Amino acid sequence: MHSYNVFRSTLPDGLCCAVPEERSVPAFVTGPHWCFDGRVEGSDVPLGFDRDAAATGVRFNGFYLFASFRRETVEH
């Protein structure tokens, strides 16, 4: 089981890039529209993250792109 560093697009597209800790970060993630968004390890994963798809994406690309969904909190 891999631990991933997750980078999030700062644009409203919801795109995220997960990179295994032992891999190099892809060059596009170092651009101005990306920020570090934390780590994924164990069963604590963001909405939209799929471990099987991540393993396949990393095998072919070295990283995993996915759409992140954030839970909105309702204020009363």
In tens digits, the chain (76 residues) has pLDDT values of 679 999 999 998 889 999 999 999 999 998 899 999 999 887 788 888 999 999 999 999 999 999 987 655 555 5
Give CA–CA dist 13/23, Å, rounded. 25
For the chain, the C-alpha Rg in angstroms (whole number) is: 13
Which residues lie closer than 8 Å to 5 by C-beta, 6 or more apart? 18, 19, 20, 21, 25, 36, 38, 39
Phi first, then psi: give them for residue 38, nearest 5 degrees.
Answer: 115, -170
In the structure encoding, which two tokens stand for residue 45, read together? 């994963």
Structure tokens of 1?
């089981």
